[in-house]
Amino acid sequence: MGFEVGKLDGVEAGIQVRGEIDIASVKPLEEFISGLPPNTTQVVVEASGVEFMDSTGLNLLLKLAARGDPGVVIRNPSRQVRRLLSLALPDGAPGLVVDFSSDGPGAAHRLTEMVRSALELRAAAVSCNARAAISRAEAQRLRGLRADWVDRRPPWLSAASEVPDGGGG
């Protein structure tokens, strides 16, 4: 898709990022951030349009996080950004805040992600129920085979002549 960065309306030190944040786009992003008002300690990054982010993008976010507490607020991160953050920073990072609470372009995105997650969870539950039904049917079939065998065993093999558990000697 490429990369786009621009000012986030209504936020003095806010930027809106779309596309891919990687080694090719991190330099223009750093240049855009350096053009923010002097003494900016907190940067708000609207990330609902980020389709990909690698470790260079993550490194830039961590540099911004070091500016203050919080140094960077990642607003409405896309699914890809959330995945990278959860894998690379499962316990978070000082100065980095993820915000899902604001309205705007990310609100519909969050709703879509919630619905998608619910549908994936339902599909997993249906699959699990189907596997459980197959297992129950197989167990019932095996119990039937055992009962058939017990009914058909030769007369010389009686229940009294069976060796009890624990050995026979």
Q: What's the CA gap between 50 and 25, in Å, rounded?
A: 12
For residue range 39-51, what is the model confidence (pLDDT) as tens digits?
A: 888 889 999 899 9
Q: Are 23 and 54 in contact (CB under 8 A)?
A: yes
For the question of whether the overall pTM of this predicted structure is more than 0.85, the answer is no
- Burial environment of residue 46 by CB neighbours within 10 A (0 to 12, 13 to 18, 19 or more): buried
Closest to 106 (Cα-Cα) out of 8, 27, 1:
8
Q: Which two tokens stand for residue 1?
A: 């898709």
Q: Tell me the three state secondary structure of residue 137.
A: helix
> Token pair 């197989």 is at which residue?
138
| DSSP string computed for 99-120 | E----SHHHHHHHHHHHHHHHH
Least confident residue range of 8-17, 83-92, 148-157: 148-157
- Tell me: pLDDT of 16 over 90: yes
Q: For residues 58 and 63, what is the distance between their CA atoms, to the nearest angstrom?
A: 9
Q: How far apart are CA 108 and CA 114, in angstroms?
A: 10
Per-residue confidence (pLDDT) for residue 147, from 0 to 100: 77
User: pLDDT tens-digit profile of 41-89?
Assistant: 888 999 989 999 999 999 999 988 888 778 899 988 888 998 899 889 9
CA atoms within 13 A on the CB side of 134: 6
